Amino acid sequence: MKKILSLFIIVAVFLPFCSSLRTPSLDQGWKLFKNLHGKQYNSIDEEARRTIWEENVRMIQTHNLEADLGLHTFTMKVNQFADLTKDEFVKQMNQLKMSSERKSNGKIHIPSNRKLPASVDWRTKGYVTPVKDQKQCGSCWAFSTTGTLEGQLAKKTQKLVSLSEQQLVDCSTDYGNYGCSGGLMDNSYNYLMHSHGIDTNASYPYEGVDGKCRFNVKTIATDITNYVDIKAGSEADLQDALATIGPIAVAMDASHDSFRFYSSGVYSEPSCSSTTLDFSLLAIGYGTTQDNQEYYLLKNQWTTRWGMDGYVLMARNKNNQCGLATTASYALI
C-alpha cells in the first residue's frame, strides 16, 4: 500500500511538468528524437506528431515509475515508433494474417521425450543472423519464415546465410500472402516447397515495399522439403522444439503499447490475447532469470534500437502469454 501511495505522489508531481508543452526539456528531447531516428515533417504535421510523441513519452515514464516500485517485470523506452498512434503502428507493422484453420500438412512436432537443458540460446551455435529491419512494411511473417530456415540451413551446413524476405514479399501472393499488407508462415512454407528454394539476401535484398517477383533459381541458398506445426497452445512442445530443433517461427498478440515500447526485462501483458495474434517473430531460446522468471528469448526485426538490442524476453509457462505457443512452426530442409 505504501508503494502505491508513493507512486501516486510521484506521478502527481511529475506529470504536470511533463504535460506542459514547449518546456526546455521537452524541446531538447523532441530534437534528439528527430535527429536520432531521421524524422522529418512539414510544419503542420510536426505539431501533430509532437503531441502524439509527448503522450507516448508520458505513458512510458509512468510505466517505468511503476516498474521502479515493483509493479512491472519489464521497462519501456522511447524508440523510433514514438510519433505514431497505436492504431497507426499496428496497421503499419503488425500484419500477420491468421487463418481460421491452420493448413495442416500432416506433420506435427513429436516431443523428443529427452531431458531438456535448463536454457537454450541458438546464437551461441551460430544459427541466428543479425537483427534485421522490417521497415514500414507488414512483412513480419516473412522474417519468421527466413529465421527458422536460416537456423536449419546453418545446422545442416555449419554456414550461416541470410535468406531473402523480399522474395517472400514479392513472390508468394498466389499462396495466400499479401506482401507488405500481411501474410502467414505456413503460406510461405507452401510457396517455397513449390518454388523449390529461396534466394540469399545478398542476391535478392530486402526493400520493404511490394515489388515484382525476381526469384532466381541460380542463387538459391536452400530448398525446403516440408514444415512442421507445433501443437497449438502447448508450451511444453514449444520448449521441446526449441531445445531439439533450432529457432522456431512464432506469432503473438503484439498490439499493445507495452510491447511497442518494450526495453528490458521479462515481458508480460495482462491484456494479451492467446488467440487473436497479429505479429510474428523468431524464438531462439529460453531460460530463467536470477529471480526465477521463466522466459522465451525472441528475435524481433525492428532494428537493434528496439528492445534489448532487437531482442525481447517473453514470459514462459504463464498460460501461453500473448499466444506465443498458439501457432508455432519450423521448416525442414
Q: Which of 198, 129, 204, 202 is nearest to 166 (CA)?
A: 204
d(CA 255, CA 160): 32
What pLDDT score does 105 carry? 62
Q: Is the dihedral of CA 89, 191, 127, 161 positive or negative?
A: negative
* Helix-helix angle 43-68:24-37, to 10 degrees: 100
SS3 content of the chain, % helix, strand, coil (to 5): 40, 15, 45
pLDDT (tens digit per residue) in 211-265 = 999 999 999 999 999 999 999 999 999 999 999 999 999 999 999 999 999 999 9
What pLDDT score does 155 carry? 97
d(CA 16, CA 10): 11
State which residues of the chain have pLDDT below 70: 1-24, 99-106
d(CA 76, CA 79): 9
To which H or E segment does residue 332 belong? strand 329-332
Q: Are 110 and 137 in contact, with CB atoms under 8 Å apart? A: no
Local structure of residue 209 (DSSP, 8 states): S
Kindly list the domain boundaries of the chain, sorted by start residue: 88-332
Instruction: Give this prediction's pTM.
Output: 0.90
Question: Which residues, in sequence order, are CB contacts of 222 under 8 Å at separation 6+?
Answer: 149, 152, 153, 161, 163, 197, 198, 333
Q: What is the CATH number of domain 88-332?
A: 3.90.70.10
